[in-house]
A and B are shown apart, each in its own frame.
Chain A
Amino acid sequence: MSVTRVDKDLDRLTLTLVADFAAPVERVWRLWADPRQLERWWGPPSYPATVEEHDLSPGGEVTYFMTGPEGDRHRGWWRITSVTEPTALEFTDGFADDDGKPKDDMPTMSVSVRLSEREGGTRMEMRSLFDSREQMEQLITMGMEEGLKEAVGQIDALLAA
């Protein structure tokens, strides 16, 4: 509906997504610039985000955690690389440990967002790329392992019962 175009570049590990919204550019910008707005869309419904720090200036940081169904917390951060209010934002997105310290061994993504006026609404172009192939591979293995580990845990629990 809102998503107009999606392009995946397998060589460059890049996702480009274009979406059109029926709202002014300044309003769409606020989705990013207002932490209370940001936390309403960043995490999926089962893992809502809580934004702690939110400094959208070059070198600034956004820190957040997502809370899972079991109360489990997953911390993340953005490091802002460039801002042109209200039309452009670039940042690195990564994982953090429980103390909020960036995990160096975990994958990071470079995200860039452009907003422009289009037919009375706003076009958002978002590009997100894995900073390294190695990290991408790691993420996949983790996801796979995670899911299967959970299942194995459940089976173990059944067998122990």
Chain B
Amino acid sequence: MVVDELGDETVDRLFHALADTTRRDILRRCVRGELSVSRLAEAYPMSFAAVQKHVAVLERAGLVTKQRSGREQLVRTDPDAVDRARRALDELESAWRGRVDRMARLLAEDPGTGTSGPGGAEDSGTGTSRTGPSATGENDEKEGPER
């Protein structure tokens, strides 16, 4: 889904950046807060320069930014917190829109009176048109091959 919004070149860079276990791990660590490159380097059995190289690849892919803080370079995953929050809420919204649609379809199938509890008789087929909001939803059940 995210991929659709990006150009080929960007996607290439992203793929390259994420195709490496260490880089994916760096990404995970840096979501939790800013870490300096030297702190990061302590976590891996490789040289500071090697870790720095990995960070550079991630940076080019736009997955992390480096910020100077005193004498340290802090690495953080995707700087735009607002954009990320928006993306998270957008995804949540679309999940809930899907849920509401399915709820509406279920209600159209079986408007019920609500008085019969879950244990009550399944009244499928009977009295479906009592409080029903018009007869849509009827044909949603089977995705006809007509289209």
Partner pick for B113 among A8, A24, A40, A138, CB 8 A cutoff: A24
Any A CB within 8 A of the CB of B96: yes
The interface size bin for chain B is: 35 or more
Per DSSP, are chain B's interface residues mostly helix, strand or loop, or mixed? Answer: helix
A58 to B105, CA, bound (A): 29
Q: A143–B91 contact, CB under 8 A? A: yes
Using Cβ atoms and an 8 Å threshold, which residues of chain B touch A160?
Answer: none
Partner pick for A40 among B28, B92, B102, B118, CB 8 A cutoff: B102
A41 to B15, CA, bound (A): 34
A2 to B84, CA, bound (A): 27
Any A CB within 8 A of the CB of B97: yes
Partner pick for A24 among B18, B81, B114, CB 8 A cutoff: B114
- Among A13, A19, A138, A155, the one with the most B-chain Cβ atoms within 10 Å of its Cβ is A19
List residues 62-86 of chain B with CB under 8 A from any CB of chain A.
77-78, 81-82, 84-86
Cβ contacts A to B, 29 pairs, < 8 Å: A2-B100, A2-B101, A8-B86, A10-B82, A13-B85, A13-B88, A15-B89, A15-B96, A19-B104, A23-B107, A26-B112, A26-B113, A26-B115, A27-B113, A30-B117, A35-B118, A37-B118, A41-B99, A41-B102, A44-B98, A134-B32, A136-B88, A137-B31, A141-B28, A141-B77, A143-B2, A145-B24, A148-B15, A149-B24
Q: Which residues of B contact A (CB under 8 A)?
A: 1-3, 14-15, 18-19, 24, 27-28, 31-32, 77-78, 81-82, 84-93, 95-104, 106-107, 111-115, 117-118, 131-133
Q: Which residues of A contact B (CB under 8 A)?
A: 1-3, 6, 8, 10, 13-15, 17, 19, 21-31, 33-37, 40-42, 44, 86, 109, 124, 126, 128, 130, 133-134, 136-141, 143-145, 147-149, 151-152, 155
